[in-house]
Amino acid sequence: MKIRILLADDHPMIRAGFKSMLDQNERFEIVGEAGNGRELLGLAPEVNPDIILVDISMPVMSGLDVLEELSKQIPGVRLIVLTMHEEREYILQALKSGAAGYLLKNIERFELERAIIAVHEGGKYFSPMVTNILAEAVSKPETTDTGDVTPREKEVLELVAKGNSTKQIADLLGISIRTVESHRINMLKKMKVNNTAGLIKKAIELKIIS
Amino acid sequence: MRNFRIFTKLFLTHSAVGLFALITLSVIFYNQLRHALIERTLDQLSSINILKKELVENYLFRSQQNLEALLVEHKFLKIYHELLEAPATAQTNEDIADIGNLQKLYDFKNLHVFDTHHQQLYSTDENMYPEGLLSRLDSAIFKDPARIRIIDASTHALGDETLLFYYVPIIEREKLIGIVLVQENFQKIQKILLETTGMGSTGESYIVGGDFRMRSTSRFFPDTLPGIIEVRTEAVRNLFRNRPGRGVLKDYRGVSVLSAYRLVENDDLTWAIISEIDEREAMKPILSLRNYLVVATVLLILLTLIVTYVLSNAIVRPILRLKEIILTLSKGMMPGKGSMEKSTDEIGEMGMAIQQLTEGLERTAIFANEIGGGNFNASFTKLSENDKLGQSLIEMRDELRGFHERELKSTRARASALLEGQERERKRIINELHDGVGQMLTIIRMQVDLLDIDSKSKTDIKTQINDAITEVKRISYHVMPQAIVDFGLEAALKGLCDTMSRYSGIVIDFRYIQEYEHKLDFEISISLFRIVQEGLNNIAKHANATHVVLHLLDKEDEVYCILEDNGKGFSATDLVNYAGSGLRNIRERAMLLNGSAEIHSDPGSGTTIEIHIPKQSGTAE
């Protein structure tokens, strides 16, 4: 049984290149080609492929935009992103949207074949460069220098809780706006919250302020 | 002296009123007093006059009585007979000797005895009677020869002496047989008159005969014989018309005198007795009063001068002060806050009005100044409903504000259109690069596989193509990261930090806090991205730092960004010389979004850049 592949890329020559690359392996069968995201959405249910190789940068609808929709439309379809982008946001976004593989377009033929087979068998596959970036993202979690809230930070926090603006707090404590904001950012970090409301709530929970 | 005119006016009016009052009062007072004084002096003179008259009359009467008595005794008859009988022995005859005794006893001057033929029988002094006296006497006594009478013979005198005789008839058996002429010693009458007690230094009483000649010696001309002095005065004329009286008139010297005059009551004499005192002396008390008045007038003028000076000063000083203020205003300057007159009179009110004017002008000037300085939010309350200047200024302010806002808007619009165009162009370029060139290279790379060459060459070519692709990606990332378009600022900055860390080894503490869920405006995003990019480039190039803090706080009202390094920092001079353009770009970017960028640095203590970008920045679309 051949692995049915749908190829989506806005560049016909790229499609042609990958098609000829994949045609060399008898296990693969190109069942369709799409020039953009919308075409892909229209075509995919018709051809019902096992694997969809999809580029990110495409006119009308980008690859990232269609990933989730495709997963819904065709249960069991495996999605592999094949792109020029190597920034972590694209990789993470693609993974979130259900991509099982993330490959850069300068991939070698044997590696592409290996990736398709791995994904088809239920695994995941990433280009070595992508793996590096992912590893960085995981191994370098947001630096969280937790520690005790300093008296000055507590002072700032109390004034924030009373509804004072940064400018007012700076004037009241006789320090610069920059220092106040630093204190605030440090506390947001320490409390692992994202905004002032959360900060105050957490501070009250922890009985730092009343 | 500039206030001379007001001073003069006040002085003249004050003096005029003062002097008029003083002079009027003085004249009335003076006249009343003078009148009273004249009346009193005249009363006094009158009584002296009466007294003198009576003394003279009494004296004459007494002398006549004495002679009468002698006549009754037939003394003169005896003497007459003795003289007729023995003229030669007259000197030794007892009766004749009595004549001399009589003369001495009664103090007569001379005694002459005549017969009816005017033959002198005896005389104590032969020559002491005037020529023709006896013939005149005859015609006078024709009617009643037996009566003793007084004869004023001065007119017949050889000299101008006063000659007064008593005519004493010698009667025997009712027939006139002889005459005795007794020459009165006029000095005795003169003595009565010369008694000038209470008459001061110019008062006198004198007698004038019917020939308008003086009889008594004048007090003023003691050495002049009285007959020489003619007294044809109003008093004498009145008297000889039988009108006694008193008054102020000219005396024989032509001097103005107070005079009381009467006729001596005697059947035989036409004598006027006149008592006079110089008006000048009589009026002496009034003269001193007049001096007092003159002194008082002078003092009053002085007082007026002083009062006027003080008063005019009091009036003129505030007026001059006001004038100064108005002059200052007219030169377009603001007068200093001098102490204005606080009085409540008209000048005080004027001062208040001018102060109000000054304050109004000052307020207007400050307002105009504010507008001139570009403060179009300055507010102004019009000085009054119809304050044209104020209204015009307010309109000018509003128009300028509108103009300024439009100008600002259009400047921003142009700048941001420029930036937007730039960003759009960049987007297009990275599209071309990334998707165009990049993809082409990818295609070429794929086609290398199809070439019939050895695998080593293939790998070499593909490596070179990979390098080219990487370079294209690097370039396009710098032109504009695709991530900011697709994922926003945080992702773009994260990527930027990752890249920076990877290539430079600087540890970056990146923290992006969004206080509420939203998508940050692309314009702000791209600007902040450029700012941070510029800042990080500066740090990488110049700072020699090992740690960088990049914190962004995306709040509801603004985005706050702080970029801090632990590098070598720079001085203000360095800022101008080296780091200038990059930091200036940062500032300009921030200001285009109505934000601000503060850069703090000191050599050795790193650099901190703080950026505030307000939300709802009101930028032109």
Average model confidence (pLDDT) across chain B: 83
Token pair, residue B355, equals 């102060």
Instruction: Give the closest residue to A142 by CA, choosing from A195, A102, A95, A194.
Output: A194
pLDDT, position A52: 93
pLDDT, position A120: 92
Question: Which chain A residues in 86-145 lie under 8 Å from chain B, judged by CB atoms?
Answer: 86-90, 93, 105-106, 109, 136, 142-143
Closest Cα in chain B to A57: B435
Any CB–CB contact under 8 A between B562 and chain A? yes
- Mean predicted confidence (pLDDT) in B511-538: 86
Q: Which of B80-89, B359-368, B389-398, B518-527 has the lowest mean pLDDT?
A: B80-89
Beta bridge partners of B563: B550, B609
pLDDT, position A8: 92
Confidence of residue B532 (pLDDT cuts 50, 70, 90): very high
Crossing angle for the helix pair B186-194 and B4-72, nearest 10 degrees? 150
**pLDDT tens figures, B178-237:** 888 888 888 888 888 888 777 888 888 999 988 888 888 888 888 888 888 888 898 888
Best of A82, A84, A177 to substitute, by most chain B Cβ atoms within 10 angstroms, is: A84
The answer, yes or no, to whether residue B103 has pLDDT greater than 50, is yes
SS3 category, B589: helix
Instruction: Give the closest residue to B567 by CA, choosing from B503, B480, B506.
Output: B506
Closest Cα in chain B to A179: B562
Question: Which chain B residues in 512-531 lie under 8 Å from chain A, judged by CB atoms?
Answer: 513-516
Q: Which of A21, A62, A88 shows the shortest C-beta gap to B446? A: A21
Beta bridge partners of B260: B246, B275
Q: Which of A10, A85, A194 shows the shortest C-beta gap to B513? A: A194
Are A61 and A38 in contact, with CB atoms under 8 Å apart?
yes
**pLDDT tens figures, B471-492:** 888 888 888 888 888 888 988 8
Neighbouring CB atoms inside 10 A of A104's CB total 20
pLDDT, position A140: 54
Are B252 and B231 in contact, with CB atoms under 8 Å apart?
yes
Measure in Å the smallest separation between the Cα of A35 and chain B Cα atoms: 14
The answer, yes or no, to whether residue B591 has pLDDT greater than 90, is no
Measure in Å the smallest separation between the Cα of B578 and chain A Cα atoms: 25
Crossing angle for the helix pair B489-504 and A88-96, nearest 10 degrees? 130
N residues, chain B: 621
Question: Which chain A residues in 154-173 lie under 8 Å from chain B, judged by CB atoms?
Answer: 166
CA B210/CA B207 separation, integer angstroms: 10
pLDDT, position B43: 92
CA B22/CA B18 separation, integer angstroms: 6
Are B210 and B228 in contact, with CB atoms under 8 Å apart?
no
Q: Which of B442, B494, B553 shows the shortest C-beta gap to A105? A: B442
CA B552/CA B490 separation, integer angstroms: 9
- In the sheet that holds A51-54, the strands lie side by side as A28-34, A3-8, A51-54, A78-83, A101-104, A125-126
pLDDT, position A144: 46
pLDDT, position A6: 93
pLDDT, position B621: 35
pLDDT, position A147: 62
Token pair, residue B613, equals 């970008």
Q: How many Å separate Cα A27 from the centre of its chain?
A: 31
CA B493/CA B489 separation, integer angstroms: 6
pLDDT, position B419: 79
Please tell me whether the interface predicted TM-score (ipTM) of this complex is above 0.90.
Answer: no
Per-residue pLDDT of chain A in tens (210 residues, 90 and over written 9): 889 999 999 888 889 889 988 988 889 999 999 988 888 889 988 888 999 999 988 887 778 888 888 888 888 899 999 988 888 888 888 888 889 999 988 888 888 999 999 999 999 998 888 888 788 777 655 444 456 777 888 888 888 888 888 888 888 888 888 788 888 888 877 777 777 777 888 888 877 777
Token pair, residue B556, equals 């509801």
The answer, yes or no, to whether residue B619 has pLDDT greater than 50, is no
Can you give the pTM of this predicted structure? Answer: 0.50
Question: Which chain B residues in 384-423 lie under 8 Å from chain A, judged by CB atoms?
Answer: none
Beta bridge partners of B111: B182
The verdict on a CB contact (< 8 Å) between A181 and B495 is no
How much of chain B exceeds pLDDT 70, in percent?
A: 93
Beta bridge partners of B204: B276
Handedness of CA B181, B185, B188, B193 (dihedral sign): positive
Any CB–CB contact under 8 A between A201 and chain B? no
Q: Which of B261-275, B376-390, B538-552 has the lowest mean pLDDT?
A: B376-390
**pLDDT tens figures, A108-157:** 888 899 999 999 999 999 888 888 878 877 765 544 445 677 788 888 88
Token pair, residue B354, equals 């001018």
Q: Which of B438, B516, B562 shows the shortest C-beta gap to A181? A: B562
How much of chain A exceeds pLDDT 70, in percent?
A: 95
Q: In one letter, which amino acid is A25?
A: N
Measure in Å the smallest separation between the Cα of B423 and chain A Cα atoms: 19
Q: Which of A89, A143, A188 shows the shortest C-beta gap to B487? A: A89
| DSSP code per residue over B264-307 | ---SS--EEEEEEEEHHHHTHHHHHHHHHHHHHHHHHHHHHHHH
pLDDT, position B313: 79
Roughly how many angstroms between the first and final C-alpha of chain A, as a whole number?
68
Best of A178, A183, A186, A202 to substitute, by most chain B Cβ atoms within 10 angstroms, is: A178
Any CB–CB contact under 8 A between B496 and chain A? no
Judging contacts by C-beta atoms under 8 Å, the chain B residues touching residue A62 are: 486
Q: Tally A–B CB contacts below 8 A.
A: 92
Token pair, residue B527, equals 């600007």
SS3 category, A19: helix
Judging contacts by C-beta atoms under 8 Å, the chain B residues touching residue A36 are: none
CA A53/CA A19 separation, integer angstroms: 11
Any CB–CB contact under 8 A between B611 and chain A? no
Any CB–CB contact under 8 A between A206 and chain B? no
N residues, chain A: 210
Any CB–CB contact under 8 A between B595 and chain A? no
Neighbouring CB atoms inside 10 A of B364's CB total 18
Closest Cα in chain B to A177: B610
Best of A21, A25, A87, A140 to substitute, by most chain B Cβ atoms within 10 angstroms, is: A87
**pLDDT tens figures, B247-273:** 999 989 989 999 999 998 888 888 899
Measure in Å the smallest separation between the Cα of B554 and chain A Cα atoms: 9
Judging contacts by C-beta atoms under 8 Å, the chain A residues touching residue B608 are: 178
Identify the residue whose tokens are 């006198």: B204
Judging contacts by C-beta atoms under 8 Å, the chain A residues touching residue B496 are: none
Any CB–CB contact under 8 A between A182 and chain B? yes
Best of B440, B484, B503, B515 to substitute, by most chain A Cβ atoms within 10 angstroms, is: B515
Any CB–CB contact under 8 A between A178 and chain B? yes
Instruction: Give the closest residue to B231 by CA, choosing from B255, B251, B256.
Output: B251
